Amino acid sequence: EEEEEKEEENSLFPTTEPIIPFDLFSICPFGCQCYLRVVHCSDLGLTSIPRNIPPDTRMIDLQNNKIRVVKENDLQGLTSLYALALNNNKISKIHPKAFLPTKKLRRLYLSHNQLTEIPTNLPTSLAELRIHANKVKKIHKEAFKGMKSLHVLEMSANPINNDGIEPGAFEGVNIYHIRIAEAKLTSIPKELPSSLLELHLDDNKITTIELEDFNRYKDLQRLGLGNNKIKDVENGSFANIPRVREIHLEKNKLKKVPPGLPSLKYLQVVFLHSNHIAKLGVNDFCPIGRRKKKALYSGISLFNNPVKYWEVQPSTFPFPLSMYCDHRKLTTIPNIPAQVQQLYLQNNDIEAVLTGPFTNVTILREINLNYNKIKFHMIDHGVFAKLSNLVQLHLQHNELKEFPFPLPSSLERLLLGYNKISRLSGDALQGLPNITMLDLCNNLLDDSALNGKHFSSLKNLMQINLCNNRLQTMPPDLPPSLMYLSLENNSISYIPENYFSRLPKLTALRMSHNNLQNIPPNAFNLPNLLELNLGHNKLKQVFYIPGSLQHLYIEDNDIEKEYDEADDDQETNDRETEEDHEPEDN
């Protein structure tokens, strides 16, 4: 039991403490919204942290205000506080004793302020600290003393140079993720925590990767060094990070592929675009002889280099490739090599999808055609249906007026947002048993377009996005597999009685910016519901809230009456009485 308690204490996502409304917040700071132990005070023009914050509060949102100082007693009594968001204020000073009462604080967000140093006496319980875009120049030796639970540190966009990191500053901490991008580093810091799994140093002034730079970081899995001034990578440098899976070296000054990549057995992604690489050798990426990789490459990015691709030997890439043709002002789709698995064609001027370029394709799994000018009548009939291994198709931000069918039965994710789709033909969604995610946001769909049981055949659908359409009623015949339903920015005015009884797995419902006025008393009696967003409607009465709920948003409504459990009990009794008189099935 002690071990379980310890694991819970160090968890980023605590589960043992129930989230219970505390008397529907009989106290709440003026202008703020309080519910489910969450206090929302963002965008109010506040110049100081407000008083009368309920003592059981778990999260306080104070983003986008004008707070300049965090005083000694501002957080007094908030012993249960779990997360505090102070992003985008004008904070320049935090009292040394300000955080002493918050012994359970796990997440602290201080980005976009005017701090010149990391606050002192931070809670040792802290797991995540984000202090992006401030004026911090130094990381002092005592900054993280005793903070053994700290796992995530975000310090980008601060004027930190290499001398600003004092020796021993990270001694005794087990940080897994550090980001010090957009700073003034000229070399890779050598005294960061040895526990690092992710290191992001993009947008600095680093010029060289030296042999000993990664000596401490044996477990590193993601390395970000994009947009620096790196000219040289010493041979053997990457041998010290044998488990790395992703390396970003784009937008540097490399003239050749860095040495040592073939020996990295787990490496899957290498970004080398926008350098000065003119030649590719047959041994630049893959191991020689009988040595094998533990994981295949999923993406190598080399565009915007002076490579003559027609001179590249086929044996240079004897593995499935990602093909990057985005942002090229293409008007047609080029021929796709047979071995390509991921095809990226977003941000071009493509109007048609023709069969020809896909003739040799056999294992294509993902196509991204977002931000083009594709029209329904210029898609060759069956061009997608023939791709029997396709699992993801992105067609957002195009000019489609109809659903692009037929599609392959292998498809799992289909994104059609930001088009002009106004109708779905009767068989548009037939033959798609593997679809788990369907995005139809920002189209012209109205109630008539969804009639006809279009979704009932999607037995594995888990997420559907129908936000920003023209719906006035709830979509019919959604499958019981659904877990996430997005209906924001429509004109829905009511929810039918027992509508959600067919959706027992629903975990997130987003219906903000509709015309909802009344909610059936037991509408959200769903055992798995975690997130409910009903903000910006016309609700007048609080409704039943399930015990599983973790995030509730009801801002900008006209709620006057608190939810009366007696009403719910009476309805339950009435329902039980009705059930007692129902005839049994024969």
DSSP states of 379-438 as a string? BPTTTTTT-TT--EEE--SS--SB------TT--EEE--SS---B--TTTTTT-TT--EE
How far from the centroid of its chain's Cα atoms is residue 352's Cα? 31
Between CA 442 and CA 448, with CA 447 as vertex, the angle to 5 degrees is 115
pLDDT for 95 equals: 97
pLDDT higher than 70, residue 182: yes
**What pTM does this model have?**
0.60
Per-residue pLDDT tens digits for 366-409: 999 999 999 999 999 999 999 999 999 999 999 999 999 899 99
* Residue among 519, 525, 509, 503 nearest 561 (CA): 519
Contact call for residues 88 and 112 (beta carbons, < 8 A)? yes
User: What are the domain boundaries of the chain?
Assistant: 12-136, 137-316, 320-479, 493-575
What is the mean pLDDT of the segment spanning 337-348? 89
d(CA 360, CA 575): 61
Is 230's pLDDT higher than 60? Answer: yes
Q: Regarding the domain with residue range 12-136, which homologous superfamily does it belong to in the CATH classification? A: Ribonuclease Inhibitor (3.80.10.10)
The answer to whether 137-316 and 320-479 have equal CATH topology is yes
Residue in the block written with tokens 């007048």: 540
AA letter at 458 = L
**What percent of the chain has a predicted confidence (pLDDT) above 90?**
74
The pLDDT tens digits for 436-459 are: 999 999 999 999 999 877 898 999
Range of lowest pLDDT (306-315, 392-401, 412-421, 509-518): 306-315
Alpha-carbon torsion (66, 71, 73, 75), positive or negative:
positive
Which of 194-198, 309-313, 317-321, 555-559 shows the lowest per-residue confidence on average (mean pLDDT)? 317-321
3-class DSSP state for residue 43?
coil
The region of weakest confidence among 227-236, 305-314, 370-379 is 305-314
Show the tokens assigned to 364: 């294509």
**Cα distances (Å, whole numbers) of residue 189 to 119, 213, 272, 430, 529:** 22, 7, 22, 55, 44
Phi, psi of 161 (to 5 degrees): -110, 180
The architecture in CATH of the region 320-479 reads Alpha-Beta Horseshoe (3.80)
The band of 299, judged by pLDDT with boundaries at 50, 70 and 90, is confident
Evaluate if residue 17 carries a pLDDT over 50.
no
Who's near 249: CB < 8 A, 6+ residues apart?
225, 226, 230, 233, 258, 270, 271, 272, 275
Q: Top-level CATH class of 137-316? A: alpha beta
* Measured distance CA(143)–CA(122) in Å, rounded: 8
Measured CA to CA in angstroms, residue 460 lies from 285, 296, 454 at distances of 38, 29, 14
Pairing of strands 551-553, 531-533: parallel
Q: What is the pLDDT of residue 105?
A: 97
- At 244-290, the pLDDT tens digits run 999 999 999 999 999 999 999 999 999 999 999 999 988 899 887 65
Query: Can you give the pLDDT at residue 319?
Result: 60
Query: What are phi and psi for residue 493, nearest 5 degrees?
Result: -110, -15
Task: Give the C-alpha separation, 316 to 339, whole Å.
Answer: 13
H or E element that contains 509: strand 508-510
Q: Is the pLDDT of residue 294 over 80?
A: no
Q: Give the range among 330-334, 359-363, 525-529 with minimum mean pLDDT.
A: 359-363
